[in-house]
Amino acid sequence: VRTLKLAVIRGDGIGPEVVDEALKVLHAVTPDDLVIEETPFSLGATRYLETGDILTEDDMSAIASHDAILLGAVGGDPRDPRLAGGIIERGLLLKLRFAFDHYVNLRPTKVYDAVATPLAAPGAVDFVVVREGTEGPYVGNGGAIRTGTPQEIATEVSLNTAFGVERVVRYAFDLADRRARKHLTLVHKSNVLVHAGALWQRTVAAVGAEFPDVTVDYQHVDAVTIHMVREPARFDVIVTDNLFGDIITDLAGAISGGIGLAASGNINPDGTLPSMFEPVHGSAPDIAGQQKADPTAAILSVALLLDHIGRSDLATAVTRAVEADLADRGTTQRRTAEIGDAIAAAATARTTTA
């Protein structure tokens, strides 16, 4: 019997609603030889506004003692001046990604049969974005002077290291090599961001030499938005930097039938630190507390978690149950918990008959 110590951060807005359904499905597929030990951490904007704490050293060391993290979403009402400047997003979400060295942000996209997508004829869409998670313009490498004056100068310098680019590119090649189509697309903006672009391109060429079976192409990030809408089936594995990856995965979510379906894993492939699984979407204050959120993205994030811990059998049970539920979805709007119940029931049926 194996024990999985799971840190659970339900977070803000729709976070708690979708995490409850994700846990429901996780429990439904958990077999006798796996024990899930959950520790709840109440973190997020709500806790910050009550206590002034975002993520203490004690929180960090407690979370670090877990095997994995499941996170709903964090971030409060964007109009609240006390939360300005992404204080929660940076102090909590990005801090966890950086501290636990989540250098791979894995964001798969699939267009499921029977799901209404905004695209007329999407074709067989099944690609994975490998978004770098610890560098780029996200590191806070910048500053402002003469703030508030007409002479204000603000910089936000993108950080790209040979070490950081190499390890994520290698992960992406390795992933592409294990997939049927064995194709990798590097996405950047090397016609303008020449310094970082050159490092990414050189690294892809060098690492690619070790993967002779993987075909490679390069696309500028602006052009990718065209192809993703017009012909998304052409993509297999996309590797890109932190910010480009953020932007194109919201687009990927939208073409696949909604951001409520998009799952992600913040992976520490070395396995020494806990990886974190979370839907791509945020706390959606506009629909929070109304049982209107689609919990599918959080549930599919549990499938990524199960894959990560080597239980692809259970991950498959979850994704099959989601596929069955998506195929059944009519036009009537179901409550968050109803969707979770239906997927949990389908997943249970699958694991008990397997």
Annotated binding-site ranges for NAD(+):
282-294
Spatial contact of 136 and 243, defined as CB atoms under 8 Å apart? yes
Going residue by residue from 265 to 284, which x/- string records binding to ligand IPM, judged by CB under 6 A? ---------------x-x--
Active-site annotation holds for 189: yes
- Shortest Å distance, C-beta 311 to ligand IPM: 24
Residues 6+ apart with CB under 8 A from 87: 48, 54
User: Which tokens belong to 32?
Assistant: 């006798």
The 3 state secondary structure assigned to 165-180 is HHHHHHHHHHHHHCCC
Q: Which of residues 21-60 bind ligand NAD (CB under 6 A)?
A: none
CA 262 to each of CA 181, 215, 340: distance values in angstroms, whole numbers, following the listed order: 22, 26, 16
List the one residue from 7, 19, 54, 93 that touches ligand NAD (CB under 6 A): 93
Count of C-beta atoms within a 10 Å radius of residue 169: 22
Query: Pairing relation of β-strands 104-110 and 263-267?
Result: antiparallel
- Shortest Å distance, C-beta 88 to ligand IPM: 9
Nearest alpha-carbon partner for 289 in 72, 83, 115: 72
Going residue by residue from 165 to 184, which x/- string records binding to Mn ion, judged by CB under 5 A? --------------------
Residue 93 touching ligand IPM (CB under 6 A): yes
- Shortest Å distance, C-beta 69 to ligand NAD: 12
Among 53, 222, 313, 328, the active-site one is 222
How many CA atoms does the CB half-sphere of 263 hold within 13 Å? 29
Residue 293 contacts which entry, Mn ion, ligand NAD, ligand IPM, none (Cβ below 5-8 A, type-dependent):
ligand NAD
List active site positions: 138, 189, 222, 246, 250
Point out which residues bind ligand IPM (CB under 6 A): 89, 93-94, 246, 280, 282
> What are the residues binding ligand NAD (CB under 6 A)?
14, 18, 73-75, 78, 89, 93, 259-260, 278, 281-287, 293-294, 297
